[in-house]
Structure 1
Amino acid sequence: MTGSLRIKGNEDAALAIFLLMASVAFCILVPLAWPLDPLRGDISATFKPPMTVVGDALHPLGTDQLGRDLLARLGLGTLVSFGIVLIAALISVLLGTALGMIAGYYGGWVDALIMRLVDIQLAVPFILLILLLVSVLGPSMTNLVIVLGLTGWAIFARVARGRTLEVRELEYIDASRAMGLSDMTIIFRHVLPNIIGPQTVLLTLDLPRLIILEASVGFLGLGVQPPMPTLGNLIGEGRSVILIANWLVLYPGLMIGALVIGCNLLGDWLVRRAESKVS
């Protein structure tokens, strides 16, 4: 039974790594190597189905309503969307981990204040908060990154605080204080290494949420503005012509699915691995 579980876990990890590596390779290689311009259209090549040749140009994934090559746009759109998600996730992790460690280490009114901010953050639906902030700040790539990053820090703060509460009671923390080390030195030298593992696992589980949120905001037209493609606005642009050009929605949707499934499988595998080490 243990052997079968180990095999199953490794299969999940292999599939996750394959999906993520394939997606990353796609979004890097296509913008670099594919010769067609993702932003330049050709009116004579509108709504061409996949594997159509127009002139000397092959369109493996077809073209859109302006005659732009979907493969080129999907490659660039995946790169832009994944870049936004990764930067936003980094902001969430750094902000949440820092505030969580401070709350857990110092306690008292500092802990109470930060945890009330966490409660307020978690009480507001993410998608509504993001739509509100983007509509106020205006749709742009920078604003979207900031909004996604600032709306995802709370869960990281809670996990960091809980782990810090455990670590600060250990004997070597008391020994570090007795040696005269400053609080910041103790936090970064002794507390932070004990938090990196759980935060990394949490990050892989939170990435799918950010991917879906970024795509949802782009679908509604409040994210990165055309003609720059993202996975969300590619689907948004294709939804009105889905009956005559379903490939405009199909391939961006498959890319979103690959990224979400890959991150979920990787996160689940890391959780099971951590639990097996503990047991």
Structure 2
Amino acid sequence: MTRFWNAGRNADAIFAISLLVAVCALSILVPLLWPLDPIRGQLTATFRPPMSVVGGQLHPLGTDQLGRDLLARLGLGTAISLGIVLFASVIAVVLGTTLGMIAGYFGGWLDVVIMRAVDIQLAIPFILLILLIVAVVGPSMLNLIVVLGVTGWAIFARVARARTLEVRELEYIDASRAIGLPNFAILLRHVLPNIAGSQIVLLTLDLPRLIILEASVGFLGLGVQPPTPTLGNLIGEGRSFILLANWLVLYPGLVIGCLVVGCNLLGDWLVRRADRRGA
């Protein structure tokens, strides 16, 4: 009975991990093993539905308006989108956690300046800010990674500051100061390990936002430029042909849905697990 109950409580995590593993397998195995070129097409094979065979070659997910294999493009596009989101999330977590620890540990004018910057950024809609910056600096993969990362640090800074305010009052922090340990060493060796868990949980909950933002920017044509595929620009290219070839939008949308649902379920499970441990 206990084993069944534990399996029930972990069902969300198992389902979430299954979705994320399936998407990661698509992004790794297809670019490595699928023989068709995701960039070059065959004009005699345009708009072929899923499971079509053209010239002896199977197209499991069909082809697009230029005769390019959708499975090959979806695998490469998923890999690129995941890479953008993961690198952007690293920038956001590192920048936000560092500034949040500094604000919470030192306080004073540093705390005021950093928190006012957080308030200003959170007051501006993320998608409008990202579109404005990308329109100014130009669309490219590197620019998109930097913009998504720099505009996503605020929530991590706020949580890191709150946790640092708790940790800095602990007795062993006072003992570390008393023996002359530098502030940088205290932050790195004692404060960071205590707030890392909450930052990781927050990251899993924030990843869906980054996935949607990256797809939205790509959909609007301000992300990675065609013919290089991403999940967003695959949907953007296919929207004009949705009545003729709905699979061009359906499959990228399903991958985005799997990523968002998987990250949300995993994040919720981690929150519940942390609450049970705290209780």
Mark yes or no: TM-score above 0.5: yes
1:22 equivalent in alignment to 2:47: no
Structure 1 Cα separation of the partners of residues 2 and 261 of structure 2: 25
User: Within 5 A, what are the aligned runs for 1:166-245?
Assistant: 166-245=166-245
Residue 113 of structure 1 corresponds to: 113
**1:32-58 deviations in whole A, cap 9, x for unaligned?**
000000000100000000000000211
Give the aligned partner of residue 149 of structure 2.
149
Q: In the comparison of the two structures, how many residue pairs are matched?
A: 279
CA positional deviation for 1:151: 0.6
TM-score with structure 2 length normalisation? Answer: 0.98
Deviation per CA, 1:154-204: give whole Å up to 9, x if none: 000000000000000111001000111000000000000001100000000
* Residue aligned with 1:67, SS: coil
Cα distance in structure 1, aligned partners of 2:9 and 2:250? 30
Q: Which residue of 1 aligns with 2:60?
A: 60
Equivalent in the alignment of 1:38: 38
Equivalent in the alignment of 1:249: 249
1:71 Cα deviation from its structure 2 partner = 0.1
CA shift in 2, pair 1:4/1:104, >3 Å: farther
CA RMSD of aligned residues (A): 1.2
Aligned-residue sequence identity (percent) comes to 75
Q: Structure 2 counterpart of 1:69, which letter?
A: D
TM-aligned CA distance change 1:2 to 1:264, over 3 Å: farther
- Tell me which amino acid in the other structure corresponds to 1:9: R
Matched, 1:50 2:47: no
User: Shift of the alpha carbon at 1:67?
Assistant: 0.2
**Could you give the per-residue CA deviations for residues 191-247 of structure 1, whole angstroms, max 9, x where no partner exists?**
000011000000000000000000000000000000000000000000000001000
Q: Secondary structure at the match of 1:192?
A: helix
**Matching residue of 1:130:** 130
Q: Which amino acid aligns with 2:137?
A: L
**Structure 2: tracts of 5 or more residues without a match:** none
How much does 1:9 deviate? 2.7
Residues of 1 paired with 2:147 and 2:54: CA distance?
41
Q: Is 2:268 the partner of 1:268? A: yes
TM-score relative to the length of structure 1: 0.98
